[in-house]
Amino acid sequence: MSAEHVLHPATHLDLETLEQVLRRQAPLRLSDEAAARIDHCHLYLSERLSQSDAPVYGINTGFGSLCNTSISPQDRGQLQVNLMMSHACGTGGEVPAELVRLMLLLKAQSLSYGHSGVQRATVQRLLDFYNRGILPIVYQQGSLGASGDLAPLAHLCLPLIGLGEVSYEGYRLQAADALHLFSWQPIELQAKEGLALLNGTQFMLAYAVHTTLRARRLLEAADVIGALSLEAFDGRPEPFDERLHRIRPHAGQLATARHLRELLVGSELQQQAKTAVQDPYSFRCMPQVHGASRDAVQYVAGVVETECNAVTDNPNIFPETDAILSGGNFHGQPLALALDFLAIAVAELGSISERRTYQLISGQRGLPPFLVAEPGLNSGMMIPQYTAASIVSQSKQLCTPASVDSIVSSNGQEDHVSMGSNAATKALRVIENTGQVLGIELLNAVQALALRRPARTSPPLEQVVEAFRAEVPFMGRDRVLYPDLHAAARFVRQYAWA
């Protein structure tokens, strides 16, 4: 455990900070200002309800299309409990533990601004779960991404009141038993608290944070692996000349070209005379293709950071101006569009990577077909390219935008939804797919470079080759290859590319 991370409403929460907090497993704490804001808003709401019976959505009324049904004061706590229970309708696979931890952090962050009316004890319990490693069992399917991520957040927050299930130190427990382990009493929900916990975008936002951070790493990996393939293919350096990119100055294109130039400095292979006048697009257009994806991921990162610093439940409470406003801050459209864009951008990294793999095994430029001795007797790297092609095709299918779909729910009250949760889970699958495709390219590029010896590539690229060879040996003749593919994907995910 390392230094704690303090949730402070005046501190901008960026992706770099989140990545460090998650990596260090830093404990979380509410700042004094956040605690004061939460207390002030909760007190305001309590006093407001004691003084007036005017209808306020979800506090003294029903939910969704039942918003015109009045709820008596004595039933308002039960209303919130009923909301939590009835909305826990998740299904499908379980959300990975690292994403559940992130959901807990992001939900506490959103509530810490003091516009939600919850008790401080409720926010503290979310932090207690995070700090103690008590992770609610949350399911991937069930959210429309409109009134927030209702079903996933119901599963996330049910354990606060002693219901649902959690994972703790590798064991699956009933939430009530987990609370008993720490002598914690279930939270007694007060007016609006169930609504504040369930409304919000923290399911799709956790996926967005996670996939954006991983997409950034894949961008770095794609440049390095693409440079290795260029070297193995005996490719030319001219397409990365700064003069070309100054006259089409997209930021991502400029950055990618600069990165590739830096990676090639000191390469013996680049000093050799080139026989080909031009290289295929998958090599020559890396700055334009990788760069476009880099720009897209940068845009997505901006959307994600805005959402990390936002209040996304409903209604929202403004004690200073004596107002409770019902709106639509829980609607996931900003994230849905961004996550669809992210998936497309990352899928393109895989698409161009598979093409480079195809060129490497094609028997051109002095390389043997399928990068193996005695092709025919040996199939060599033939089938890894098939695997890459299959994965790239699946990623294309997964890139059908979720955000263009909407299905009416709640008797027409919720008549336009974002489907952002589907965009989120699809984006993660595309991230995983592209990591594997880049791993297959790396496997082929390093194999091809071995066939170019004794000529060597640049010192930074040789360092990558050496690290990869410690995980995957040279293939002199056919062997069972799936362990190599799995190791290559793991290498892409874990290696320190930047």
In this predicted model, what pLDDT tens digit does every residue of 418-456 receive, in sequence order? 999 999 999 999 999 999 999 999 999 999 999 999 999
Q: DSSP alpha helices (H): ranges in 112-148?
A: 120-132
User: Domain 5-200 class?
Assistant: mainly alpha
Measured CA to CA, the distance from residue 343 to residue 207 in angstroms comes to: 12
Q: Which residues of 332-342 are buried (b: 16+ CB within 10 A; e: fewer)?
A: bbbbbbbbbbb
CB contact set of 403 (below 8 Å; sequence gap of 6+): 333, 336, 337, 339, 340, 418, 419, 420, 423
The pLDDT, as a whole number, for residue 63 is 67
Q: Annotated catalytic residue: which of 44, 57, 130, 207?
A: 57
pLDDT of residue 2: 65
Residue 239 and residue 232: Cα distance in Å, rounded? 16
Of the candidates 130, 126, 192, the one whose C-alpha atom is nearest the C-alpha of residue 160 is 126
Place of tokens 């998958």: 282
Residue spans of the chain under pLDDT 70: 1-2, 62-67
CA–CA separation, 469 vs 269, rounded Å? 19
pLDDT for the residue 443: 98
> What is the pLDDT at residue 147?
85
* Structural contact between residues 199 and 417, judged by C-beta atoms closer than 8 angstroms: no
The pLDDT of residue 72: 80
The dihedral region occupied by 17, where left means phi > 0, alpha psi between -120 and 50, and beta the remainder, is alpha
Instruction: Judge contact between 403 and 340, C-beta under 8 A.
Output: yes
Selection from 173, 143, 174 nearest residue 402 by Cα: 143
List the beta bridge partners of residue 171: 168
**What residue segments make up the domains of the chain, in order of their start?**
5-200, 207-494
Residue 269 identity (one-letter amino acid) = L
**CA–CA gap between residue 386 and residue 482 (Å, rounded):** 13
Question: What pLDDT shows up at residue 412?
Answer: 79
Region class of 91: left (phi > 0), else alpha (psi between -120 and 50), else beta: beta
Tell me, what's the pLDDT at 77? 83
**207-494, CATH topology level:** Fumarase C; Chain A, domain 2 (1.20.200)
Q: Under DSSP, is residue 302 helix (H, G, I), strand (E, B) or coil?
A: helix
Q: Establish whether 57 is a catalytic residue.
A: yes
Query: Is the distance from CB of 284 to CB of 321 less than 8 angstroms?
Result: no
- For 72, residues 6+ apart whose C-beta sits below 8 A from its C-beta are none
